[in-house]
Structure 1
Amino acid sequence: MSNRRQALVTGGGRGIGRGIVLALAAEGWHVAINFRSNREAAEEAAAGARDAGGEATLVPGNIADPASRAEVAAATLDACGTLDLLVNNAGMAPRQRMDLLEMGEASYDEVMDVNLKGPLFLTQTLARHMVDRVDSGGSPGQIVNIGSISGFTSSTNRSEYCISKAGMTMMTALLADCLSPWGINVYEIQPGMIETDMTRGVKARYDALIDDGLTPIPRWGQPEDIGKAVAAIAGGALPFSTGEVIRVDGGFHMHRL
């Protein structure tokens, strides 16, 4: 394990997170798989990582909770020894979609804690480790934040989600600026419509929209599409980029007539 590159993927048990775990494992990484409650899914992801040629360790914890978040950071460094890559993937949609004029503070707080506050302060802790490693003569790590096209696309029935993802774009820029003296590059990947548990409830609607030309690439994205993008960054494919937003959305972001 000591000869492997070391990564933490939050929310790594299912969906996009699992796609990232498997892509990194295929490149030989040891991946700490963080999960909040679904241990069975995380164990399946870990087994898949090992089958793909990597190694995996389960790191349970809720990044929205300060004490649990600290335990995740400590357990990751204990299991990995160091950290070459942090992937802030864990996220949630509102439990109930409500119009902006009806959205409650409890839903706003919950979504922001998971999608923005938790990742920010987890990164603060682990970035200090990366900085210390560089100061001690070691190599810099990398950070990848998983945002969303919802960060620049209005959905008034899940405003808290859109706000949290828009905030992640600025979080990426701030971290890239702050950490640049140590050579620690920070990126954001903005997935489009990805076929996961989170999107299952709107699948029929988006099937029709995709058929009608919503995206130039006429299909759902898959978790492995995001995994490939993360693995490319992790492999050093973008050494002269930081603070960069990479859209893996089938071309959704383009202005078209």
Structure 2
Amino acid sequence: MITNEYINRAIDYILNHIDEEITVEDISNYCCFSRYYFSRIFKMETGESIYEFIKRVRMERSAFRLKVEKDRSITDIGSAYGYSSSNYSSAFKKHHNMPPYKFRRSIVHKSMMNPVFRNTQTELLTWQECSEKITVEIFEDCTVIFERYKGSYGDLSVHWGAFLDKYKEYITEQTRILERSYDDPAITLPDKCLCDICIDAPAGCTLENICTIKGGRFAVYHFSGPVEHIYSAYQNLFSVWLPQSKYKIDDSYGFEIYKKTDCGSRHMDIDICIPVK
């Protein structure tokens, strides 16, 4: 768990400005610490230096764009993250072990291999079948109590139990349970995936670990099935529905709303909410 308020503030700043030129000094100054001190505590908390984290997120977010924006040129995507055409190809190949054009050709096939539950088969639906499960909805901003984790999404059930017990006094029948994931595990290594587990914060809540999940227009995949198949639902959104729909993925991050969970059977009803424009 990443508990340091300033580290989380730095991570939020990086994630929200990843398509801009960001330096270690920018992050240190934003959090009001010296570069040396903040670089040290950032690496202690996250396992990565600030520079490594920025570079990795930039490479992985651009790779995600290659995956879901199939009609957008590689040069345009690289440029959006601050790279010239040749520099982007070189940096991308160094990080992903293949040039961008090969990655784009192979990513759908790679996405069929579930890295979270390796023995679970990923099934891609037709666009029509996906559309029957998806609605486009408008959400308001919501304030949540959250804890942030870095690691495999497959381990979250353990953290969820502890989280819900820790904040049980804030939970009522109206409280929503949400999960905000920042990475596509088909692209990001499992041990580097970021996730916030959240509940609605009651009015007047004075806890320090509160943040706002921004609202807007979202494509909502209404999922019902075993937890092992949630990965398939995401891949159907990313690889089937989005590329063929009239919508484009927005720059903010998505989240899940837990509707119903059966811990015994591991069956879940959740809404997977992906920002679109």
Given the two structures, how large is their TM-score scaled by the length of structure 1? Answer: 0.27
Larger radius of gyration: 2
